Each structure stands twice: as structure tokens, then as C-alpha cells.
Amino acid sequence: MLFNSIDFALFFPIVFVLYWLVARKLTLRNSLILVASYVFYGWWDWRFLILIIISSIVDFYVGWYLHKTEEKRKRKMLLFLSLLVNLGFLVYFKYANFFIESFVDSFRLFGAELESSTLNIILPVGISFYTFQTLSYTIDIYRKQIEPTNNMLAFFSFVAFFPQLVAGPIERASHLLPQFHKTYKFNYDLVKNGLLLMAFGLFKKMVIADRTAIYVNEVYNNVGDYDGVAYTYATILFAFQIYCDFSGYSDIAIGAARTMGFDLMKNFNSPYFATSLTNFWHRWHISLSTWFRDYVYIPLGGSRKGKIRTYTNLFIVFVVSGLWHGAAMTFVIWGAIHGLGLMIEKAFFKVKKPFYERLGLSNNKLSNDFFFGSITFLLVCLAWIFFRANSLADATSILAGIFTNFNTAEIFDKSTYLIGFESNEFKVVCISIGLLLIAEMVHAKKSLVKLINSQGIVLRWSAYLVIVFAIIVFGVYGEGVAQEFIYFQF
């Protein structure tokens, strides 16, 4: 079930009303959440429910037995069981064909041809997200950082909580699970804030992401038909497409949870205002980057074992992060670019003399932020080429086109910047992206949601109506557009 669908527009109000009718009765409330979450998830394919139920059962009992035993060998075996089940599902459904194809390709390098066929496997929606969420629960118990719950209903509801089940944020049990052990009173301000945040998310998704996708899909799906200027436009637009698509989903998820009294972690913080790749990853997909930090980077040794080991650990984490995003070499290279960039940053920025002085720049924060922010955005866009390209060959063709076939005369040529667009559609894209950037600058000073909701009734309702009007009038609808959220495939 998609957030931007008629199905969800009917589903959510029904769940919301029923939820607040039983909100003071904990067992009944969690039962409603669990049933609603399974309906929400099973809407794609009811067979997917089998996997999430198995993961929930295994991790509930693994957590319980981990807490009961102090014997190291048994504790390691229990943790291994959780890893085996969860990562086993993930590897099979997401990476089986990738490993088969990679194995065959490795022989092809030496002139040998192997006959093979890929498996007919359907990738369960959101498996990467709930797998990491349940794994963090058992790992934290193993580390004795949290205690397990003895309430199976609360735990199952935590794993399957429908607002963030399919594409995050990836919540930690220490933060979200206790919220299933207490009831909430109806809070008008929270509901109002949550609904406004959901509206912002729908605006990002339907007005910006799905409209920019028209241009991006046309260019990236027909590599060879265009030149460097079109590739550049498409790549920049993809940067905004994927940001508005994914942060839009997070906004809707956080907002929907908030209307029911639940607090989900912030997943994005104006990442395109970052002034370094390190800063970018403190702002982009925060729940995933902190997950990899706590469960991969630090266990590998983090920054505790010298520079070489630190750089190696960083590179490994980002290559694994790339593979997490997709079973293709394009994603691995995307992760490697970020890993390499972070290694270079650590090598050059951790010096006594400020980096801007070494480049001969003045000590002016505004100009330096603009300079480094621009460089960071360009590097991020360079990596996005591999993330979006349909194949490694397409990615290299796009790069070649940008650097060797860039005709500056076409920058202001309508036939280039209106690919797939009518003139008015292009204006909608430019204005909406401009409004997004202004909103994020305002949000950096004060929460935009709180700012709007603190206004008088006339201004407040005017803002509500403008947002709803923009979604209805300027949102993209119909077949052949990117209605499904990009991160569903991960």
C-alpha cells in the first residue's frame, strides 16, 4: 500500500479513528496496530507476511534467551541464529541472483563461459529495513545495552509498525519499543503537526519527486540519445527526485506516527546544505548511517586502531552500504565513491592549519560554506550517476557525455531543458524546488511545522489550503510515472 494512493487515503483515516477509540486499552490498541500493519504490508503480497512473522518470532525468543543466559558460548550461538535467519532471508531474496551473475562474470574474465540461469525471486518490500531493525534489537541485548520485552504483542507491533515498516526510519528498540508499552491521550497539537508533516511529505513526493522523474527517466532510460547537458540536468534533477522521494516518505511516516502519539527519529536534515561528505552523511538517511556506525564501523575498530585501519573501515562500511542499497555493481561503486571521498576528507581536514587557509581562501563562513557546499553537492551528484544508472555501461556513457560532449550552447536551449516537459511543467519544477530550498533554510532556524501551526487561524489555514491545493493541482497522477517510492526496492 502506497502512501500516495487512494488505498492509503481510505486506510489511514479508518485506522486513525479506531486507534483513538481503543487508545487507552493497551492490548487492544497494540492488537489494532499489528493487524493494521499486516494489512498494510500484505497489500503488496500476503506471502511477504510469512518472512516478517518468522523474523519476529525468532528475534523475540532469541532476545529472551539471550537475557536469561550468561554463558558466552550459548549467547554467541543465539546471536548467530538471529543473524543467520535475518541475513539469510536478506541474502537469498535480495542477493542470490547478484552472486550467481557475479560468479559467472568472474569466469568470463578468464575466457570461460558458464551456462547459468537466475532464480525467479520476488524481492519482499522493505526487507532491508525491518531486517536491520530486528537485528539491532538482538545485538543490543547481546551487548547488554537493553533488556528484552516479555510482551510478544508489543514486540511484533514494534517490528511491523506500518508508518515506517517499508522504508524507515530504521528505529532502535531502545527508542521505539518502550512506546508500545504505554498508552497516550489524544493530543490535538500532535495530530495537527503530524498531518501537516504528512502534507509536506506528499508535496515533496507528488509535486517534486514524481515530476522531476519524468525528465530523469526519459534521459537515464535512453542513454545514447542525449548529450552532456541533458545528462547534467537529469543528474541534478535526480538529486532532488531521490531526496524529495525518500525524505517525503520519511515525513509521511513520522507524521502518521505522530498523529497516534508515537515519536520516530528524524531521518533527514537538509542534506544538500552540507559542506562536506562527512556532514552530508550526518544529514542524509540518518537512521541508516548511524546503524552502520554502531553495528559495522565501530565493531570493525572504528577510528581506534590508527589511520590506515580507520580509512579501511570507512571504505568497507560504505561499500557494504552501497550493496545494501542494491544488488548491482553500480551501487557498490556509488558506496565506494562516498567511502573514498570520506577517506580523503579525513586525511586533509584533520590538520592543524584550517583547510580553507591551505586553499588560500578567506576566513569568511558564508563564502566558505557556499564554496564547500557546492563542491559537496557536485560530488554527491557525481555518485548519484552510478546510483540511478540502469547499468555500469550506462553510467560510464553518462560520465563520458558530461565530460567530453558538453555543448554549452545547449544550456538554455528549450529542446534540452524541456525534455519530457511542457513549458508550464518546467516552471512548476523550478518553483517547487526553489520553495523547497527556502523552506529548508527557514527550517534550519525553526521547525517549519511549528512555525506554521503557531500562526493565527487565518494564516495557518491559508498555509494548509495552499499545500493541499498544490498537491491536488500540481501533483503527478496516472500510469507511467514514478508513483512508487524509490527506496521500496531496497
Quick one: pLDDT at residue 122? 65
Quick one: pLDDT at residue 485? 79
Q: What is the pLDDT of residues 304-340, one digit of tens each?
A: 888 888 889 999 999 999 988 887 889 999 999 999 9
pLDDT at 106 over 70: no
Residue 458, judged by CB atoms within 10 A of its CB (0-12, 13-18, 19+), counts as: exposed
Q: Which long-range contacts (CB under 8 A, 24 or more apart) does 45-50 make?
A: 45/122, 45/124, 45/125, 48/124, 48/125
The DSSP code sequence of 65-100 is: HHHH---HHHHHHHHHHHHHHHHHHHIIIIIHHHHH
Q: b/e for 291-327, b at 16 or more Cβ within 10 A?
A: bbebbbbeebebeeeeeeebbbbbbbbbbbbbbbbbb
pLDDT at 37 over 90: yes
The residue behind cell 508499552 is 181
pLDDT at 93 over 90: no
Q: Which phi and psi angles does 270 have, rounded to 5°?
A: 45, 60
Q: Which three cell numbers stand for residue 137?
A: 534489537
Quick one: pLDDT at residue 357? 54
Distance CA 88, CA 279 (A): 33
Is 175 a catalytic site residue? Answer: no
Quick one: pLDDT at residue 351? 47
Provide the mean pLDDT of the chain: 87
Quick one: pLDDT at residue 180? 95
Closest Cα partner for 375 from 394, 395, 349?
A: 349
**Helix pair 127-142, 152-160: axis angle to 10 deg:** 140
Alpha carbon 194 to its chain centroid, in Å, reads 19
Q: What is the pLDDT of residues 447-479, one digit of tens each?
A: 888 888 888 889 888 988 999 999 998 888 865
Catalytic hit among 67, 285, 325, 338? 325
Distance CA 222, CA 218 (A): 6
Q: Which three cell numbers stand for residue 194?
A: 503530524
Task: Tally the C-alpha atoms within 13 A of residue 447's C-alpha that lie toward its C-beta.
Answer: 11
Q: What is the pLDDT of residues 132-174, one digit of tens each?
A: 999 999 999 999 999 999 999 999 999 999 999 888 799 999 9
pLDDT band at 225 (very low <50, low <70, confident <90, very high): confident
Distance CA 465, CA 470 (A): 8
Residue 125 Rama label (left phi>0; alpha psi -120 to 50; beta) = beta
Q: What is the pLDDT of residues 347-363, one digit of tens each?
A: 876 544 455 555 555 56
285, 246 Cβ separation under 8 angstroms: yes
**What share of the chain has pLDDT > 90, as a percent?**
58
DSSP symbol at 122: P
Give the best-scoring range by mean pLDDT among 99-103, 302-306, 373-377, 481-485: 373-377
397-to-224, 240, 305, 389, 415 alpha-carbon distances in Å: 8, 22, 40, 10, 21
383, 239 Cβ separation under 8 angstroms: no
328-to-93, 109, 319 alpha-carbon distances in Å: 14, 18, 12
Lowest mean pLDDT among 37-46, 90-99, 411-420: 90-99
